[in-house]
Amino acid sequence: MKLLLIGGGGREHALAWALTRSPRLKKLFCAPGNAGTARLAENVAIQATQIERLVEFAQANEIDLTIVGPEQPIALGIYDAFSRVSLKIAAPSKRAALLETSKANAKEFMSKYEIPTARFGVFADYERACAFLDQLAPPVVIKADGLAAGKGVVIAPTRAAAEQTLRQFLVERRFGEASRRVVLEEYLSGREFSLFIASDGQSWCYLGTAQDYKRRGEGDRGLNTGGMGAVSPVPWLSDQMLSQTQQQIVRPTFAGLAREGIRYQGILYFGLIWTAGGPQLLEYNVRFGDPETQALVPRFDFDLLELFQRIVEGRLAGFTCRLKPKTAVCVVAISQGYPGSYEMGKPISGLENQVEQPDLFIFHAGTARNDGRLVSAGGRVLSTVGLAASLAEARAKAYRALQKISFAGMGHRRDIGN
């Protein structure tokens, strides 16, 4: 099969690595890809949001199947555009994508189908939003309704901080159209985790769990980022807890989608928190997470290309998504200043010193080639992933590999998997 993989981050490098292990693969293209995917595929100079150009490329190159990594092209309706010209694509429709692209829509869906979630209100008016604060004890969770690159969620510790954030979102439009509306939620105490499901619109398959580290600083302090690392599986999540989550949240979600007449084809990510009262749903994402994918993919013990093929052909029933009984720890190396402003073009050294190991992976994210040299080209630059029988051993592998890599201003968290 000839595949087109859309995206250029660490998630896409991990997916590309897994796809190239399939005997079904004939040729892999990545648009736009990065310096890591260039070693596995042919990178194509088309951005993930250039939908019509991607359609034209898929037609001209007789692509058998397109796989979408990031959320932006899904939000723009890439599934609908490809389907109109009978191109096969593993991604949910624009309507289904509202589960991620509109947090207000997602919360209303959860409420309608009695999926456990925090008490909330949706507002476009600053004064009304402030009035709703009377019903919530601080801290308060404030979310921009639309996509904000993982940075549109603020936990306001006081009433004054909440009002300031609401002003930034609703009045100053910090995230433009994405913060035209906000969701105000009660703060839930507990431990967060993510669960991943593949769906062909009729059947679904469990793909594993991961724990993401969103904050920039150790001990979960500092600004929210796109993700500083991840662990898979979630070490404290028991089989009973997983079963309860699937029963109370996953099953009602797919029952609700069926009731809404939405045939969901693709990956559905459940952002969850385990509270004293059991699992609660924080959010949906309509694709694989990043950097959770970098920790999940090395544990896959099945043909990922076959999974995507079955998704688009409606043949997921009976497919076994086997997982290796090992733990993966992913640590992300970032540019100085991230998630704020940062410089790019810093030469990266040390990758040539890495000894090839079966259970050690280095996935590129914001990397590029400049006059033959590998340089940084983003906020999150690359990640090292260790896979082992124990969490401690996997963690040690990931950090040992990262210690051999350097670029000016490189940073990382030292407590991933602690």
Domains defined along the chain, listed by start: 2-91 (3.40.50.20), 119-186 (3.30.1490.20), 191-313 (3.30.470.20), 327-403 (3.90.600.10)
Number of Cβ within a 10 Å radius of residue 76: 17
Residue 406: what are its φ and ψ, rounded to 5°? -155, 150
Q: DSSP readout, 160-211?
A: HHHHHHHIIIIIS-TTGGGGSSEEEEEPPPSEEEEEEEEEESS-EEEEEEEE
Residue 139, preceding bond cis, omega within 30 degrees?
Answer: yes
Q: Does residue 149 have a pLDDT over 80?
A: no
pLDDT per position as a tens digit, 363-375: 999 999 999 999 9
Q: What is the pTM of this model?
A: 0.95
Mean pLDDT of the chain: 96
Per-residue pLDDT, averaged over 20-24, amounts to 97
Closest CA to 271 of 198, 185, 184, 211: 211
Q: Does residue 339 have a pLDDT over 90?
A: yes
- The CA angle 332-283-102, to the nearest 5 degrees, is 110
Residue 253: HSE in the Cβ half-sphere, 13 Å Cα cutoff? 31
pLDDT per position as a tens digit, 239-298: 999 999 999 999 999 999 999 999 999 999 999 999 999 999 999 999 999 999 999 999
Position 217 confidence tier, pLDDT thresholds 50, 70, 90: very high
Distance CA 345, CA 372 (A): 12
- Check residues 174 and 50 and name the one with the higher pLDDT: 50
Distance CA 101, CA 65 (A): 24
Sign of CA dihedral 290, 328, 40, 367: positive
Which residue has 């991840």 as its token pair?
A: 230
Number of Cβ within a 10 Å radius of residue 336: 16
pLDDT per position as a tens digit, 108-132: 999 999 999 999 999 999 999 999 9
DSSP structural state of residue 137:
P
